[in-house]
Amino acid sequence: MRILGLESSCDETAAAVVDDTGRVWSDVVRSQIASHAPFGGVVPEIAARDHIRAIAPVVTEALRQADATLSDIDAIAVTHRPGLVGALLVGVQAAKGLAWAADKPIVGVDHLVGHLLSVFLQRDASFVAVPTYPFVALLVSGGHTALYRCDGEAEIRELGATRDDAVGEAYDKVAKLLGLGYPGGPVIDRLAATGDPDRAELPKPMARRPSLEFSFSGIKSAVARLVEHAPPTDADVPHLCAAFQRTVTTTLVKKTMAAAKQESVSQVVVAGGVAANRELRARMAAAGEKRGVRLFVPPLASCTDNAAMIAYAGARRLATGHRDDLTLGPATFTRLPRVTRKGRGAR
């Protein structure tokens, strides 16, 4: 069974063909980074307009690379929540048009479920090891930061999330404050490797609290204050990046390991764009090894926004008998059960 997946929830227009075993036949991602970079973040109106221009060529290319036509496809999966509503609408309408024209089943996918299942994608000829249920997953991206317990594709429960900024958002805002451009994650990651984290003082976000919730707005404000009162010199910037990154990764690793312990699971998955972070990967691996926890981090192409993960999550939904119809619409919130209320502020 081959599924065509479409993704347009934020600033990537993507289409992919994946089968129900997770094998990726094609995976096309058109990034809008250049359109948003001058603004230091994603501009919703620009995102929606860019998706409109890109969606048809991206879908055509995904089918071409998979050596398939629409009639060879068994179903269409599309991200319909959560995300920027105008951006989501483009993918959803395109998917509905394709489903109607080719008379194929359509299934809406929660973007967060896509990220959480991205670990099951098979991109190489050789089979890569995948986790078995249950596992704990840390989802870290530009829009989301949360820990989940996954007992099955339809049994995903939030254990704790950020109360304010997502970690990728904090990276992007700190990079903007330091004049490092957008997106901030990769550049901070690179500069941090050349800096000394002990040469800059930053607060530890909720590090001592036993809860599995996160907060990253404090550290972002601390960097803002520092930049305002004592602007860092070019030589200071790598140290500040290193201190910021060490603080953030310490919290992420500590809470992920605490979640695995609390849930008595021995497998941990890290997914989302920030899972590309080298320090996070290295420290999570070291912490896992120490505690007998097996770590699964998908390759970069599966971590950042893509449609292959959406196609695969769609295949799993279809396998459970789920179908949507042409009334499918976009929504800004996830439907995964949540325990963290956003904007609760510091306790």
* Site of interaction with Zn ion (CB under 5 A): 141, 305
**Nearer Cβ to ligand KG4 (168/314):** 168
- One residue of 118, 162, 256, 304 binding ligand KG4 per CB under 6 A: 304
Residue burial 229-262, b: 16+ Cβ < 10 Å; e: rest:
eeebeeebbbbbbbbbbbbbbbbbbbbbbbbbeb
Restricted to residues 3-62, the positions that interact with ligand KG4 (CB under 6 A) are 10
Minimum Å gap between C-beta 85 and Zn ion is 16
Q: Provide the residue type at 197 as one letter.
A: P
For the chain, the straight-line distance linking the first and the last C-alpha, in angstroms and rounded, comes to 49
- One residue of 172, 213, 263, 324 binding ligand KG4 per CB under 6 A: 172
Residue carrying structure tokens 């907060």: 215
Restricted to residues 73-92, the positions that interact with ligand KG4 (CB under 6 A) are none
**Nearer Cβ to ligand KG4 (153/165):** 165
Q: Whole-angstrom Cα distance, residue 162 to residue 145?
A: 6
Residue carrying structure tokens 């953030």: 248
Minimum Å gap between C-beta 169 and Zn ion is 12
DSSP code string of 288-300: HHHHT-EEE---H
DSSP code string of 126-148: SPPP---SSEEEEEE-SS-EEEE
**Nearer Cβ to ligand KG4 (32/141):** 141
The contact mask relative to ligand KG4 for 257-276 (x = CB under 6 A, - = no) is ---------------xxx-x
User: What, of Zn ion, ligand KG4, none, does residue 40 touch, CB below 5 to 8 Å by kind?
Assistant: none
Residue carrying structure tokens 């479409």: 6
- Residue 142 within binding range of ligand KG4, rule CB under 6 A: yes
Q: Kindly give the residue spans of alpha helices, DSSP state H, lying in 83-216.
A: 85-102, 111-117, 167-177, 184-192
**Nearer Cβ to ligand KG4 (110/172):** 172
- Residue 168 within binding range of ligand KG4, rule CB under 6 A: yes
Of 117-125, 164-172, 223-231, 310-318, the segment contacting ligand KG4 by CB under 6 A is 164-172
- Residue 197 within binding range of ligand KG4, rule CB under 6 A: no
Sign, CA torsion 4/108/330/24: negative
- Give the residues lining the site for ligand KG4 (CB under 6 A): 10, 141-143, 168, 171-172, 183-186, 189, 272-274, 276-277, 304-305
